[in-house]
């Protein structure tokens, strides 16, 4: 039960981040809330492509978490056992980076990353 709830929380937050990345890729002027605020306003074309790549990576992470929690994607189970630890490490770094970012608005992502970290650790251990 705890694993399932944690995986659902992780995926819900990941979906929110994916939607934010989609908005950046579509040209919404929210660049100040990402990448340390290096690109305030609309992302340049290269960074819009990076946002799309981020969306794909985040979706894959969500699929791995769901697989490790035995909720979906049983075909990914063989790589999910290792992948979950990569995800944990990713969100350790994400939590740190979103906490120390020079962009004050980007710090709103720190609690999101922290909850993603905690929920992925729960899935990893249980």
* pLDDT per residue as tens digits for the range 28-68: 999 999 999 999 999 999 999 999 999 999 999 999 999 99
What is the predicted pLDDT for the residue at 16?
Answer: 98
The average confidence (pLDDT) of the chain is 97
Q: 9-38 as b/e, with b when 16 or more CB fall inside 10 Å? A: bbbebbeebbebbebbbeeeebbbbbbeee
Question: What residues make up the domain containing 121?
Answer: 2-125
Average pLDDT over residues 68-78: 97
Q: What is the dihedral of CA 44, 49, 52, 56, to 10 degrees?
A: -150
What are the backbone dihedrals phi and psi of residue 58, each rounded to the nearest 5 degrees, phi first? -65, -40
Query: Would you call 34 helix, strand, or coil by DSSP?
Result: coil
CA gap 1, 90 in Å, rounded: 24
What is the predicted pLDDT for the residue at 13?
Answer: 98
What is the predicted pLDDT for the residue at 86?
Answer: 98
Q: Report the number of distinct structural domains present in the chain.
A: 1
Please write the tens of the pLDDT for every residue from 87-115.
999 999 999 999 999 999 999 999 999 99
What are the backbone dihedrals phi and psi of residue 120, each rounded to the nearest 5 degrees, phi first? -70, -35
CA gap 112, 6 in Å, rounded: 13
């Amino acid at each position: 039960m705890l694993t399932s709830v944690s995986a659902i929380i992780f995926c819900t937050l990941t979906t929110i981040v994916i939607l934010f990345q989609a908005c950046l890729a579509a040209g919404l002027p929210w660049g100040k809330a990402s990448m340390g605020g290096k690109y305030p306003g609309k992302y340049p074309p290269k960074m819009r492509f990076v946002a799309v790549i981020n969306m794909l990576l985040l979706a894959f992470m969500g699929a791995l978490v769901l697989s490790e929690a035995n909720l979906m994607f049983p075909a990914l189970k063989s790589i999910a056992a290792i992948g979950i630890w990569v995800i944990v490490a990713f969100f350790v770094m994400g939590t740190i980076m979103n906490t120390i970012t020079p962009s004050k608005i980007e710090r709103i992502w720190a609690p999101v990353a922290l909850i993603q970290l905690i929920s992925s650790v729960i899935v990893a251990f249980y």
